[in-house]
Amino acid sequence: MRIVLVGPPGAGKGTQAAYLAQNLGIPHISTGDLFRANISQGTALGKQAKSYMDAGNLVPDEVTIGMAKDRMEQPDAEGGFLLDGFPRNLKQAEALDENLKAAGLKLDAVLDLEVPEDEVVKRIAGRRICRNDSSHVFHVAYKKPAQEGVCDVCGGELYQRDDDREETVRKRLEVYHTETEPIIDYYKAQDLVVTIPALGAVEEVTQRAMAALGRGE
């Protein structure tokens, strides 16, 4: 399956993507995680991306579209993928459609995670991620690690993302409304969108998403 996960910052895209990708046997591709891995490795791409991310803005399309395309063309993504955080504006959505069409492929579904803004703010404020791998995500109240400040998966140090500061979060939400929300209508016109109410326990949200994909129990 080829799936896009969309929703505001802190909606739980990364959290859900990890479970859904595992259940569906497809790779979880997060452009945010790819950028953060480049930043921690000190690559030129990471240096370029960091200033945009710290300001809460989108990294330019010229950088992002090529990076996402390269990742989707890796052998593990031949049978499908779950995209998290890409596409994030109409230009990226059109580029994705063109790339898929050129390969004779298409998307199966776009899952829109719906969460009220006050909940999103609470989720972001308490989020802690792992220094070794930013896809290892915890929360000080909702998903506590067994040992405070230590990643359950790999023992890495947990920390708060630089772009999770209050003023940056406000900017990210604004960018989501102006740049990313229009892709929901773009995909509605292709009859691909399923809205998933994303309040409630992580497992409940995963079950709703699996059911929406026709893979419920």
DSSP character at residue 21: H
- The residue among 11 and 192 lying less far from ligand AP5, judged by its C-beta, is 11
Q: Which amino acid is at 115?
A: V
CB 145 within 8 A of CB 24: no
- Give the range of 98-106, 121-129, 189-197, 208-216 binding ligand AP5 by CB under 6 A: 121-129
Q: Is 15 in the site for ligand AP5 (CB under 6 A)?
A: yes
Instruction: Report CA-CA distances (Å) from 106 to 34, 101, 192.
Output: 23, 7, 11
Q: Is 208 in the site for ligand AP5 (CB under 6 A)?
A: no
Q: Is 82 in the site for ligand AP5 (CB under 6 A)?
A: no
201: phi then psi, degrees, rounded to nearest 5? -65, 150
Out of 80, 91, 97, 142, the only residue in the binding site for ligand AP5 (CB under 6 A) is: 142
Alpha-carbon torsion, ordered 123, 17, 179, 46, to 10 deg? 90
Interacting residues with ligand AP5 (CB under 6 A): 7, 9-15, 31-32, 35, 52-53, 56-59, 64, 85-86, 88, 92, 123, 126-127, 137-139, 142-143, 163, 172, 201-202, 205
The residues annotated as belonging to the active site are 13, 88, 127, 161, 172
